[in-house]
Amino acid sequence: MGLATQKYTFTGKYKPFDHQRKTALFFTQHQKSFCFNEQGTGKTASAIWASDFLMQQGKVKRVLVICPLSIMDSAWRNDLFDFAPHRTVAVAYGESKKRKSIIEQGTDYVIINYDGVEIVADTIKKGGFDLVIVDEATHYKNAQTRRWKTLNKLLRDDTWLWMMTGTPAAQSPVDAYGLAKLVNPTAVPRFGGSFRDMVMTKITNFKWIPKENATTTVHRVLQPAIRFTKEECLDLPSMTYVKRAVELTRQQKKYYEQLKKKLVLQITGEQVTAINAAVGMNKLLQISAGAVYTDDGATLEFDIKHRYKVLKEVIDESSQKVLVFVPFRHAINILTDRLRKDGVSVEVIQGSVSAPARTNIFKQFQEADSPRVLVIQPASAAHGVTLTAANTVVWWSPVSSLETYAQANARVHRSGQKHKCTVVQLQGSDAEKHVYRLLDSRLDIHTKITDLYKEILD
């Protein structure tokens, strides 16, 4: 019995769009299911309304929300206050004793990050959670990880489980296995290797490619599922992708070419594996971005004046605020120091920034005049966060994950955006140009890394 057959008053200060209402209805009708709605379409709100309805009906007593650390406060707790203000909410974060105490308080909703689940798994098991919502569910794509096994042990046959992501199996068809085994286990073989053989063809010992019917197979096993795209349900401003050429400094060119020659010598007559290709590619991208880690663990910094000049032009030209995604930590430090010296109000989001600090920075960025620029390590804020105060996204250097790239760009292109959006790719080396080309083509870089590596070194 779903929302269509029961009277339900949508709570909070916002009312659902039609696609959110339909998604909420779908959730109430499917005890274990997927929501693949695109980024920015309001999946969180739909899940909250649906879970609130199930609580009213007595079908669910308590909800566990598992999500990235970066959005526990800024997305989930805030949205629960907006969409279900009559419910009690707690964020289980901190040392083990603190997490345990928070869970034992008995709030309607408990929000926890992925790795926190294992820390207090026994407490969660005793906590009476009969609905588990997993946001950005691709973090459970690998059934061999401790993270996946911990969640699987917590789920009972009668547990409600909703797994949400806008990018299912974005890196490889094999990624569908872990997700399907949690929601629809009878649709996949017992072992992951058998599923890999169903969707991939082995070319060499180090290279697999998707079979022609892989998409159909993935669609079949990832059921029941619902999906709405932004084009179907939101009237958003346009999003433009542009490339900005940046010149490498003389020092960068020197070390880039030296490393390139060294890598060519290393692979002569040897089989290139995906692992050493990824390491070599990463080194070339680090030099291009402004700082590279040496073999002894030290950091070699480069003059970033050319790249910085182009970035500053983009910031000055932007009509609204700006997000700058920088994959490498030392490059972040160099860049933010330079911006602050030039009087640009800037804050940083990276792995070392605590969850409360991130929430405060996101809130200030959205609501106050300062900061004007957020410099972000992509993995730290690529999911779930609304940053529509910005309408310009700059990639200081590319990432290898298509999912991270798409999710990061969606931080500005989502409900609430009123301005035309622009994604700017800064590119100064062949390595960067090739990676951006694959991202633009929506091709999986991880499966192409060996070919791409050889292409760059030729």
Residue 10 falls inside a structural domain: no
Output the CA torsion sign for 147, 139, 326, 364: negative
Query: Would 4 be classed as within a structural domain?
Result: no
Q: Is 241 exposed, middle or buried (0-12, 13-18, 19+ CB in 10 A)?
A: middle
What is the spatial distance between Cα 384 and Cα 418, in angstroms, rounded to a whole number?
19
Is 9 contained in some domain? Answer: no
Q: Based on the fold, state whether residues 289 and 224 are members of the same structural domain.
A: no
- First-to-last alpha carbon distance for the chain, in angstroms, is 61
Q: How far apart are CA 384 and CA 113, in angstroms?
A: 13
pLDDT reported for residue 385: 86
Position 74, amino acid? S
Task: Give pLDDT, residue 170.
Answer: 74
Q: How far apart are CA 411 and CA 419, in angstroms?
A: 13
CA–CA separation, 65 vs 83, rounded Å?
Answer: 15
CATH number for the domain spanning 317: value is 3.40.50.300
Residue with tokens 């291009």: 288
Whether residues 142 and 279 fall in one domain: no
Q: Do 417 and 448 share a domain, yes or no?
A: yes
How far, in Å, are 22, 44, 397 from residue 246 at the CA level? Answer: 46, 39, 11
- Which of 169, 201, 233 is the endpoint of a domain? 233
Q: Is residue 290 part of a domain?
A: yes
Residue 3: closest CA among 22, 30, 18, 16? 22
Judge if 264 and 406 occupy the same domain.
yes
Cβ burial, residue 278 (10 Å; 0-12/13-18/19+): middle
pLDDT at 265: 57
Q: Is residue 372 part of a domain?
A: yes
Q: Which residues pair with 111 in a beta bridge?
A: 65, 91
**Do the domain assignments include residue 382?**
yes
Mapping DSSP to helix (H, G, I), strand (E, B) and coil, where does residue 313 land? helix
Whether 229 and 276 share a structural domain? no
Sequence-distant (≥ 6) Cβ neighbours of residue 401 within 8 angstroms: 170, 171, 378, 445, 446
Radius of gyration of the chain (CA): 23
Is the same domain home to 340 and 205? no
Q: How many domains does the chain have?
A: 2
Say whether both 180 and 297 belong to one domain.
Answer: no
User: Same domain for 166 and 256?
Assistant: no
State the amino acid at position 17 in one-letter form.
F
Cα gap 127→275, rounded to integer Å: 42
Assess whether 243 and 229 both reside in one domain. Answer: no
Are the C-beta atoms of residues 64 and 214 closer than 8 Å to each other? no
pLDDT in tens, the chain (458 residues): 566 556 677 777 777 788 899 999 999 999 999 999 987 788 999 999 999 999 999 999 999 999 988 778 878 998 999 999 999 999 999 899 999 999 999 999 999 999 999 999 999 999 999 999 999 898 899 999 999 999 999 999 999 999 999 878 877 899 999 999 999 999 999 999 999 999 999 988 878 889 999 999 999 999 999 999 877 877 778 888 988 889 899 989 998 898 888 876 565 555 555 566 778 888 899 999 998 877 667 788 888 899 999 999 899 888 899 999 999 988 999 999 999 999 999 999 998 888 889 889 999 999 999 999 999 999 887 667 889 999 999 999 999 888 889 889 989 988 888 888 999 999 999 999 999 998 888 776 666 666 766 676 66
pTM: 0.69
- Residue where a domain stops, chosen among 174, 203, 233: 233
Point out the domain boundary residue: 233, 267, 282.
Answer: 233
Q: What are the C-alpha distances in Å from 422 to residues 332, 393, 412, 443?
A: 21, 6, 9, 21
Same domain, 111 and 169: yes
Spatial separation of the C-alpha atoms in residues 32 and 155, rounded to whole Å: 11
How do 299-301 and 291-293 pair as beta strands?
antiparallel
Tokens of 454: 């050889």
Has residue 303 been placed in a domain?
Answer: yes
Query: What does the DSSP 8-state code read for residue 238?
Result: P
Which residues constitute the domain of residue 328?
239-457
Predicted pLDDT at 96: 94
**Whether residue 246 is found in the same domain as residue 187:** no
- 331 and 188 share one domain: no
d(CA 117, CA 67): 10
Beta-sheet strand order (sheet of 32-35): 89-92, 109-113, 63-67, 131-135, 160-164, 32-35, 225-226
Q: Is residue 254 part of a domain?
A: yes
**Domain with 62 in it: what CATH number?**
3.40.50.10810
